[in-house]
Amino acid sequence: MVERDLHVDARADDAPWIREVTSTSASTEQARPRLSALLPIAAIRLRIPAMDWRAAVRASGEALVAAGITTPAYTDQMIATVEQLGPYIVIAPGIALAHARPSEAVLRPGLSWVTLAQPVRFGHKDNDPVTLIVGLAAPDSSSHVQGLATLAELLEDPTRRAALMAANTPRDVLGVITEYERRDVRGVGRG
């Protein structure tokens, strides 16, 4: 299910990947790690220089490795996925969700967050250029669903997306995420 979701070529205005991931997570919310648990501070890199999409994906993979989420082999697998399947990972304007199939190179579920110093082109006809690469590493098809749903909701909200993109430090990124998660837990709402 999730693998199919990740291959949807979505436009920001209709965002079926957001609706699909969000509806999938509703029934499994209690058993899955939250976004803040999947995104350690060591996996957040801001304003990273990248000459092309390969360097951008590599930066995302290096952040996963630095956080102990994957081995370097997973970075190569993410790049190979784009080489084989094309730029479908560019899921919304300016945003790429770099990932590969679950493999032994994934040590635990997790995410990386990499903003680029300058946007790069992945070759996507609608959503290029990319300024944010979220690296997704999952050892299975379900352990990351709730965190990914929260990420989708955050990025769909223009105010929160702007706050995330304007973050000056990794702690700023996590602050926006944890504030959102606290509001959600208290039942304040997501709007």
What's the CA gap between 136 and 139, in Å, rounded? 10
124 noted as active-site residue: no
Q: Which three-class secondary structure string do you get for 135-151?
A: EEECCCCCCCHHHHHHH
Candidate list 7, 99, 124, 144, residue with the active-site label: 99
> Three-state DSSP class for 1?
coil
Q: Using the CB atoms, write b or e for 103-142: b if 16+ within 10 Å.
A: eebbbebbbbbbbbeeebebebeebbebbbbbbbbbbeeb
H or E, element range at 191 = none
What's the CA gap between 113 and 173, in Å, rounded? 9
* Superfamily of the domain at 2-186: Mannitol-specific EII; Chain A (3.40.930.10)
Average pLDDT by stretches of 10, the chain with 191 residues: 36 40 43 83 98 98 98 98 96 96 96 98 97 95 85 92 95 95 64 50
Residue 186 has a pLDDT of 56
